[in-house]
Structure 1
């Protein structure tokens, strides 16, 4: 699977750097070529000679290599690989990536590359759990950086917990999965996915929302990613984490979601799985509302939120080739969804029954009917991941 693939391997400075030697060997025995980059700190753990011998290639170490930089070598190096792998990805390297720093060869390559990046974090458990690292991880995930590991286990320092770098074969498997996506049916295509609920404020501590967990939209974004698509994932405050390897845009309200959707265009397909609040409070209070002892509740006035699905479906310019909406209904599901598809102007509607007895809203399974210009197709109840994979395959077929 890796025959002929070019891997740019950045080795960070941690005790796990010794595993990078085995990783190089595993990659080369599968036919990949490896261009190794050593940070200064990494040279304290592995030698350039051992890395070069295993890689069968020169080791890149210095940003200010006059011979290489005469031809802008760091730019060439960052663009010539099929995948950039950082193993081990130390806390320092992750901080540099999250902050956009470029003060050595490794960080400059990571900032200059337009290639997908996979990191294999490795550090002390306290460093991994530190708020700064947690923040940096979230930034990198939002930027579409993929990761493998870390694993739980004994540390070189004698502590135990998450922070051990993934084993070389785990990293190889992750590399194979990523590069397999690059040849998938949606490779190179941009797909927009919305997910989760929206929160419409009543006052600073209260809001109007719904019971959507975001699980179906998240699963769908992951399934489309696995077919090779570049995903912009616009999500409200969901109870499930966003998938790795997608561009995440977090919003709160319906108006924020519409703005994020419009900013993400153009896209070849747009899938609107978010459960957007139909109304917002127009007289939301700037301070927490208090009971005044009269027993009279405060009077709330409402306005209709923008219709995101209809707005994008009816665009005169820049409309995605395929626009897919979702219809969460509690009665007359097919009739309501058919009317919604005609009213909104979208290509497909994915309808489901979310009445309390079904357990679908917030649950792990779904039962959907896909309505298109050709008619309605009802699928059996299945896990939301399975629904996502089946729908992603249909989208890929439609865009082929």
Structure 2
């Protein structure tokens, strides 16, 4: 039998942790602290059912046919109006509707990355972004945005783009302060480098008023259509429902045009049905009405998780209590603890965490873990932390 052609070389560079994590869902009684999932209680099922029914009944031509490549004009107009503020003026020409935030990341890689291109990336970095860009094998230049010696101009010079998650970063849950946001925007203007503001958690502030978006800070002329260097990524996955697979890119019209060409070759269009439902959820105020309940639920779960960590993990990890988002980032006090191994031991004890290696572009950091608090009930979070404490001591004894 003749030998089949080899698979693409980039597949040799994938990580085993993702496969382990996906398989973990089949373990009975597992407490999954490793995902990035919203709580299922937030979904307004009856309201969404009515929106879906009326979307088809009242807008069959838009929901059942192919949609425009860039998205339904009325949804693009709604997103443009929703984000226009201060000196920032947006039109539909600044908006591309995508099949979730993941496709937005993929399209950016398609239009900006060649093999070996440089990406200045907030570090640790979102695993989904690293996985999306892995086939193009970029070279990462780390940016630790909380560091006192951060030099955004040096980091961004010569890079194809800079990637950031300034609101409650995945994985660390950290919030980038206003001064650093301004410095990043100034560096983007100075260097000409595109600055990606990936913002899936921007509505999930539990304790403080929201920080200004870098997109807004980058607007240079009041009233003029936006033509700046920031590429803003949004999604309904955390404030409405991830199954809709609706996201958006807001950027200069020239960037939207090339991204539209890439999207056309990728999937032609995003579901018109899901776009109509999303439009109506925003237009009727449903999404805004949901938000207070989401914040109350997640705030209580964050507090329960952190209280359990205070009780069971203070001798094992250090961490900061996040003021929003979905994650706590915990770093082992004992350097002998390998968190890749901890993930395996944790599964044996009925708890799943995400090790830091998958958020390191080079895969070298084995010192920390990401813990999610939005998916599980408060009781399950406590149980998960109790199991994690037992698993950590077992992993340390083994080490």
Tell me which interval the TM-score lies in, with the shorter structure as reference length. under 0.3
Per the normalisation by structure 2, the TM-score is 0.26
Name the structure with the higher strand share. Answer: 1
Name the structure with the higher helix share. Answer: 2
Q: Which has the higher contact order (CA 8 A, sep 6+)?
A: 2
Per the normalisation by structure 1, the TM-score is 0.26
